[in-house]
């Protein structure tokens, strides 16, 4: 039967060849996107492995060290910031000649020497020294090799010191070797890695992207299913057994799937050089990162044809039961209301998490989110046919025109097939709504405060966020020349010194005291009460810590110490208000780092930490990739389904034209058949997506949901308009294939 199947597939005329080519093209697109997802996951692991050395710490077990030597290495990892880019800074000092050496450099830098990554080297050469280079003592003696760079754009610097000097710095540790296996720490530092949170985020992104790909492959495999049902039913009537029909069907599906797999691999290798520049996790890939392993090859080369065969077999289940049922076009079982249970369960799960409160760990938060999102994605696919059935019943009852009545009847006859054509777009709209809804709300919270937000306020945090100040973290006295230099720097509008609170209670709670004559020059942190000379100020870095934040309207309580008495107290933080320009911010940041080396990186009070902004950038970039890819897949699925539906229904449409129905009526029938499930289920998908974002933000992040802006709604309207354009583009095909010759009996 296999030779017969090949002959029928390849030698049955133009229609069979077109069916194989279209199916192969659709499978090729799905396979190409699937290969990109798999290669991107491998690329992220490659980035993680190259950045594992940044996880080096004192408690690292011996198995993770590159070598175990008698000499130790003083090690201090910190994250600096330039603009919205994070700079991984590693300060090192050898205790002897055999101290371990980080990868990417030939030997350890000496005191006042450093190695920099190529991207950071370029910045050091092009940016003014007062904005970047002056932060790093000494001279550059080389560049860090690619083996130590997660991405070609990574900003990393290894700075050498004297061992006696670095040993006195808080946070510096002695290490026995260089970490080789990644851990969750680097994911927190640089936004790239295999940390638990990132793993779950990537898993959610993979699920959101793979579902539309699998739908496209299944759709392509079922192309012209109704037409093949009739032919295979005729074969059954002349004596073919169900097994023989299954073999022939499997051969046709396998030929198209194998051709699609081959073309998909060709597309992947053709576009792979361009895909390395896609910042899938906030940073572009290096050449060679987008690779495929043996498991990926087996999954695609064997799994896709098997999936195509299974899909084709399921499409012929009515032939196996009764060939006469096919010729009489027996209707499929109507979808039942139980199909909406998974969708409601997913929404209920997110609502339960909202009521139960925020989990203690980041892992718990992301696991809950992923569980709810996956359940909703599956629920939308299952509930779509039932929602289509309900909508078609309403349309049929309220029909006032022939096109509306015909479209409603046809939708009622097979709501599964009607929803299948738009299922990919529905998933894309859900992902876009949930992601953009959450991100736009986070951005809205970060931008609250009106015009005062345009003033960039820097805080050099000398004390821990939750711990009290002590002699190792506080500055006993702020040098007058540094203060004078800051106030005279271009773009600086004011400087406020936050001193350690004089009482033990204030030190434990993290409260400080400020002179009220300084506060008006840094309005972003609040103001003093009228007539007050000294005020007690609480912690104000809300976007960084999640604590209650001050606003320009916050009035701090009056404190009793005098201005002269607080001047002798250690300095907890210095707040610098600038004109908001990037050059002013970077000059101030550089000046503070030079004056107080090894302190915390100066941060934007109304901004994000370097790792926080990178994580947000990573999620935004990943969301854009998923949305664009999902919309492309959805458009292809819609085009394939609509064209296939017309091909399968050319005889009924031809009969309608012979009875006097105009092509305009047929156009409206096709448009309504696609528009009803598209608009109905899309509305449900958008509402569920925005609702899921609101529940997540309230339960896990603790911020209010803000409706997305005009860009989101323009994207939604544009996507729906493009879908209708795809539907309209099939009208010429409808006119061409519904001539009188298509109405003959076979």
Q: Over the chain (746 residues), what is each successive 10-residue block's mean pLDDT? A: 67 68 79 83 84 79 49 88 87 90 92 94 93 90 93 92 89 87 50 45 59 64 59 72 73 82 91 79 80 88 82 60 52 80 88 68 63 84 89 87 85 81 77 78 57 44 36 61 86 86 66 87 85 81 41 81 85 82 87 79 54 56 64 69 69 79 84 84 88 80 77 80 82 74 56
> Is residue 283 a contact partner of residue 192, using CB atoms and an 8 Å limit?
yes
340 vs 385: CA distance, rounded Å: 10
363, 442, 306: which is closest to 184 by C-alpha? 363
Round to whole Å and give the CA distance between 237 and 244.
13
Query: Which DSSP helix (H) or strand (E) runs through 310?
Result: helix 294-315
- The whole-number pLDDT of residue 159 equals 94
User: How many Å apart are CA 447 and CA 608, to the nearest integer?
Assistant: 11
Quick one: tokens of 43?
């690329």
Q: Taking the C-alpha atoms of 456, 461, 467 and 471 in order, what is their torsion angle to the nearest 10 degrees?
A: -160
H-helix or E-strand spanning residue 93: strand 85-94
> Tokens standing for 442?
């986070």
In 3D space, the residue among 60, 89, 63, 59 whose CA is nearest the CA of residue 76 turns out to be 89
301: buried, middle or exposed (CB in 10 Å: 19+, 13-18, 0-12)? Answer: middle
Cα 219 from Cα 207, distance rounded (Å):
18
Contacts for 309 with CB less than 8 Å, ≥ 6 apart:
221, 250, 253, 254, 257
Among 211, 70, 712, 649, which Cα is nearest to 444's?
712
Residues 599, 602, 606, 609: what is their CA dihedral angle, to the nearest 10 degrees?
-70
Token pair 């458009």 is found at 635
Residue 196's nearest CA partner among 205, 204, 187 is 187
Please count the other Cβ atoms lying within 10 Å of the Cβ belonging to residue 15.
Answer: 11
Residue 701 DSSP symbol: I
CA angle 153, 158, 162 (to 5 degrees): 170
Report the pLDDT value the prediction gives residue 735, as an integer from 0 to 100. Answer: 77
CA gap 744, 740 in Å, rounded: 8
Task: 470-476: list long-range contacts, CB under 8 Å, 24+ apart.
Answer: 471/570, 472/170, 473/170, 474/500, 474/570, 474/571, 474/572, 475/570, 475/571, 475/596, 476/570, 476/571
3-state class of 54 per DSSP?
helix
How many CA atoms are closer than 13 Å to the CA of 700, on its beta-carbon side? 22
Model pTM above 0.75: no
CA distance 734 to 657: 11
| Burial grade of 563 (CB within 10 A; 0-12, 13-18, 19 or more) | middle
Q: Are 51 and 167 in contact (CB under 8 A)?
A: no
For strand 534-537 and strand 603-604, is the pairing parallel, antiparallel, or unpaired?
A: unpaired
- Tokens, residue 23: 């199916």
Q: What is the pLDDT of residue 454?
A: 38
> Could you tell me the two tokens for 576?
């610098």
* Calculated CA dihedral for residues 167, 171, 175, 179, nearest 10 degrees: -150
Q: How many CB atoms lie within 10 A of CB 252?
A: 26
Q: Are 421 and 637 in contact (CB under 8 A)?
A: yes
Question: Exposed, middle or buried, 660 (CB in 10 Å: 0-12/13-18/19+)?
Answer: exposed
Q: What are phi and psi of 85, to 5 degrees?
A: -105, 140
Q: What is the dihedral of CA 307, 313, 314, 319, to 10 degrees?
A: 170
Who's near 30: CB < 8 A, 6+ residues apart? 213, 214, 216, 217, 220, 260, 264, 304, 633
Sign of torsion over alpha carbons 212, 217, 219, 220: positive
Distance of CA 354 to the CA centre of its chain: 22
Instruction: Return the structure tokens found at 161.
Output: 């010191």
Report the Cα 714 to chain-centroid distance in Å: 20
Sequence-distant (6+) residues with CB within 8 A of 500 are 463, 469, 474, 506, 507, 512, 513, 569, 570, 571, 572
Tell me how far apart the 2 most distant CA atoms of the chain are, in Å. 106
Measured between alpha carbons, how far is residue 41 from residues 48, 258, 272, 631, 710 in Å?
11, 24, 14, 21, 32
Strand partners, 74: 93, 174
Confidence (pLDDT) at 109: 94
Q: Is 295 exposed, middle or buried (0-12, 13-18, 19+ CB in 10 A)?
A: exposed
């Amino acid at each position: 039967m296999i030779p017969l199947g090949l002959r029928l597939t390849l030698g049955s005329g133009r229609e069979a060849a077109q069916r194989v080519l279209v199916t192969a093209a659709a499978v090729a697109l799905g396979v190409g996107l699937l290969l990109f997802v798999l290669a991107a996951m491998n690329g992220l692991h490659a980035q993680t492995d190259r950045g594992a050395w940044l996880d080096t710490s004192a408690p690292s077990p011996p198995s993770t060290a590159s070598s175990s030597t008698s000499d130790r290495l003083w090690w201090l990892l910190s994250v600096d910031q330039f603009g919205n880019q994070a700079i991984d800074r590693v300060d090192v000092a050898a205790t002897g000649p055999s101290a371990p050496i980080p990868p990417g450099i030939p030997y350890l830098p000496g005191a006042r020497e450093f190695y920099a990554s190529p991207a950071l080297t370029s910045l050091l050469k092009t940016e003014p020294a007062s904005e970047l280079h002056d932060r790093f003592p000494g001279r550059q003696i080389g560049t860090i090799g690619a083996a130590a760079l997660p991405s070609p754009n990574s900003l990393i610097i290894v700075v050498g010191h004297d061992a006696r000097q670095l040993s006195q710095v808080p946070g510096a540790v002695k290490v026995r070797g260089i970490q080789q296996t990644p851990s969750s720490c680097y994911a927190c530092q640089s936004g790239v890695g295999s940390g638990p949170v990132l793993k779950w985020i990537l898993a959610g992104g993979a699920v959101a992207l793979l579902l539309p790909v699998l739908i496209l492959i299944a759709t392509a495999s079922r192309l012209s299913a109704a037409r093949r049902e009739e032919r295979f039913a005729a074969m059954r009537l002349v004596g073919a057994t169900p097994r023989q029909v299954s073999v022939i069907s499997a051969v046709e599906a396998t030929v198209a799937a194998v051709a699609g797999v081959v073309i998909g691999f060709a597309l992947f290798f053709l576009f792979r050089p361009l895909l390395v520049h896609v910042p899938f996790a906030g940073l572009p890939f290096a050449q060679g990162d987008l690779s495929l392993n043996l498991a990926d090859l087996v999954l695609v080369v064997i799994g896709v044809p098997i999936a195509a065969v299974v899909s084709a077999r399921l499409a012929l289940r009515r032939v196996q039961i009764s060939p006469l049922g096919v010729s009489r076009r027996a209707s499929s079982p109507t979808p039942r209301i139980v199909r909406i249970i998974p969708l409601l369960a997913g929404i209920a799960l997110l609502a339960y998490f909202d009521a139960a409160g925020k989990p203690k760990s980041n892992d718990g938060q992301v696991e809950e989110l992923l569980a709810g999102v996956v359940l909703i994605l599956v629920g939308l696919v299952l509930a779509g046919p039932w929602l289509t059935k309900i909508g078609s019943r309403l349309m049929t009852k309220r029909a006032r025109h022939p096109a509306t009545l015909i479209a409603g009847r046809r939708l009622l006859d097979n709501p599964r097939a009607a929803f299948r054509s738009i299922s990919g777009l529905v998933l894309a709209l859900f992902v876009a709504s949930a992601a953009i809804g959450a991100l736009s709300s986070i951005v809205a919270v970060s931008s609250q405060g009106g015009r005062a937000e345009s003033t960039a306020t820097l805080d050099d945090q000398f004390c821990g966020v939750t711990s009290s100040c002590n002699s190792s973290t506080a500055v006993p006295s702020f040098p007058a020349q540094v203060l004078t230099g800051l106030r005279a720097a271009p773009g600086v509008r004011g400087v406020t010194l936050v001193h350690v609170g004089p009482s033990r209670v204030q030190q434990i709670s993290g409260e400080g005291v400020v002179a009220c004559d300084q506060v008006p020059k840094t309005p972003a942190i609040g103001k003093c009460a009228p007539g007050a000379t000294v005020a007690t100020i609480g912690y104000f870095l809300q976007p960084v810590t999640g604590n209650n934040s001050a606003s320009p309207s916050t009035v701090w309580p009056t404190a009793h110490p005098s201005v002269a008495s607080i001047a002798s107290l250690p300095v907890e933080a210095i707040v610098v208000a600038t004109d908001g320009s990037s050059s002013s911010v970077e000059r101030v940041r550089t000046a503070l780092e030079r004056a107080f080396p090894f302190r915390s990186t100066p941060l934007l009070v109304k901004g994000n930490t370097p790792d926080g902004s990178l994580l947000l950038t990573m999620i935004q970039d990943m969301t854009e990739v998923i949305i664009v890819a999902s919309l492309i897949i959805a458009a292809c699925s819609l085009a394939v389904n609509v064209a296939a539906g017309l091909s399968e229904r050319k005889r009924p449409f031809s009969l309608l034209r012979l009875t006097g129905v105009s092509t305009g009526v047929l156009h409206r029938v096709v448009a309504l058949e696609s528009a009803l499930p598209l608009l109905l289920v899309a509305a449900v998908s958008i509402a569920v997506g925005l609702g899921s974002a609101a529940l997540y933000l309230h339960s896990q992040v603790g911020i209010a949901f803000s409706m997305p802006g005009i860009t989101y709604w323009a994207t939604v309207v544009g996507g729906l308009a493009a879908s209708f354009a795809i539907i309209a583009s099939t009208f010429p095909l409808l006119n061409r294939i519904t001539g009188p010759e298509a109405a003959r009996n076979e």
